[in-house]
Amino acid sequence: MTETELRRIIDLAIEELGEKATKENVEAVVAEVIKEYEKGAPSLTLSNPKPPQPSTQETGRILVTAFGKNRVGIMSALTTVLAEHQCDLQDVSQKIMQEFFTLIMIVDISKSPSNFMRIREALIGAGERLGVSVHAQHEDIFKAMHRV
């Protein structure tokens, strides 16, 4: 199984689990799909996954990346979204490379009243309004993907 295939499985698991996409649930679904794959299953589908009971509160940190053509207000728009969701910006790396804007942020969402998916959607929406591509990924999923 390639890294690209594994990433696709993780993305599908998160998409299908929606609000229930906790670290434990995603890991359980991905493990189930990989087990079926190793048995020779013809396709990598996630129909009717049976994750454990979801936890009641989203915890941990997320990694946010953004890139696109530089313009005024990108950092302001993204940090405003984080502030509105009561997220704690723990680390940031921003670089303007010629006319291109690049950004990586580590954000603690454990005390936010919003869940990961809501925060992610708000960040992506802010990026779209500015013509910048924004990606947000839970730290646990990031670490799991890079362990393989």
Residues 83, 141, single domain; the answer is yes
Claim to verify: residue 99 and residue 45 sit in the same structural domain? no
Same domain, 69 and 123: yes
For residue range 7-18, what is the model confidence (pLDDT) as tens digits?
777 877 777 777
pLDDT of 58 reads 46
132 shares its domain with 65: yes
pLDDT digits (tens, 9 = 90+) for 96-114: 999 999 999 999 999 999 9
Residues 17, 49: contact at Cβ < 8 Å?
Answer: yes
Q: Which pLDDT score is estimated for 40? A: 61
Residues 69 and 99 in one domain: yes
Q: Which residues of the chain carry a pLDDT beneath 70?
A: 1, 36-59, 142-148
Supply the Cα-derived Rg of the chain in whole angstroms.
Answer: 17
Same domain, residue pair 45 and 111: no
* Domain encompassing residue 41: 3-54
Whether 39 and 104 share a structural domain: no
User: Are 92 and 121 contained in the same domain?
Assistant: yes
- Whether residue 101 is found in the same domain as residue 134: yes
The count of domains in the chain is 2
| DSSP letter, residue 51 | P
Which distant-in-sequence residues (6+ apart) come within 8 Å of 11 by Cβ?
none
My answer on whether 78 and 141 are in the same domain is: yes
Supply the CATH number for residue 124's domain: 3.30.70.260
Same domain, 49 and 74: no
Extract long-range pairs of 19-24: CB within 8 Å, 24+ residues apart: 19/54, 19/115, 19/117, 20/51, 20/54, 21/116, 21/117, 21/138, 22/54, 22/55, 22/58, 23/60, 23/138, 23/140, 23/141, 23/144, 24/51, 24/52, 24/54, 24/55
